[in-house]
């Protein structure tokens, strides 16, 4: 059973992998470099990662095709948007919110690798889908 606790545990693991990559590479590289290392780190940590994933866009009940491209989808529940930018702007958070809404995924993470401390520029977002999940599994 999928719970809020399970989703949060995956998130912590993802963030730990991002910290590890940033610790080894530091700021100043291209997003594609961070992505390759980040995927390797997450895969080695037992996470299932899909990258550069095309997602169908549904509008008013119609499937308009796979015109939305996510950076990463981890364990089929968490969207991760990576950046390697000098400054985070509100558009990036809005983009992640839209991706979450269109896919129905419960949680998203926005990470910027081009900074001194990756956790200071981390944005974690949850959706109504997350709120609907049980907090924890109690048998």
pLDDT tens figures, 75-116: 999 999 999 999 999 999 999 999 999 899 999 999 999 999
**Res 36: pLDDT:** 98
Query: Do the bridges between strand 78-83 and strand 107-112 make them parallel or antiparallel, or are there none, so unpaired?
Result: parallel
- Three-state DSSP state, 113: coil
* 2: CB partners within 8 A, 6+ apart: 77, 133
pLDDT at residue 34 greater than cutoff 80: yes
pTM for this prediction: 0.94
pLDDT band for 138, please (50, 70, 90 cuts). low
Q: What is the Cα–Cα distance from 92 to 85, expressed in whole angstroms?
A: 11
For position 139, what pLDDT does the model report? 63
Q: Domains of the chain: which residue ranges?
A: 4-130
Question: In this prediction, what percent of the chain has a pLDDT beyond 90?
Answer: 82
- Give mean pLDDT, residues 49-64: 88
Give tens-digit pLDDT for 45-56: 999 999 999 888
Q: Is the pLDDT of residue 59 over 90?
A: no
| Average pLDDT over the chain, rounded to an integer | 94
């Amino acid at each position: 059973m999928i719970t809020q606790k399970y989703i949060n545990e995956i998130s912590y693991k993802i963030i730990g992998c991002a910290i590890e990559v940033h610790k080894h590479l530091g700021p100043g590289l291209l997003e594609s470099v961070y992505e390759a290392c980040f995927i390797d780190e997450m895969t080695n940590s037992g996470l299932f990662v899909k990258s550069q994933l095309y997602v169908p866009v549904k509008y008013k009940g119609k499937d308009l095709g796979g015109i939305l491209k996510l950076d990463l989808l981890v364990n089929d529940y968490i969207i991760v948007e990576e950046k390697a930018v000098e400054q985070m702007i509100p558009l990036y958070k809005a983009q992640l919110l839209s991706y979450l809404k269109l896919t129905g995924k419960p949680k998203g993470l926005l990470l910027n690798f081009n900074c001194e401390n990756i956790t200071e520029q981390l944005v974690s977002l949850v959706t109504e889908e997350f709120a609907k999940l049980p907090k924890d599994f109690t048998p």
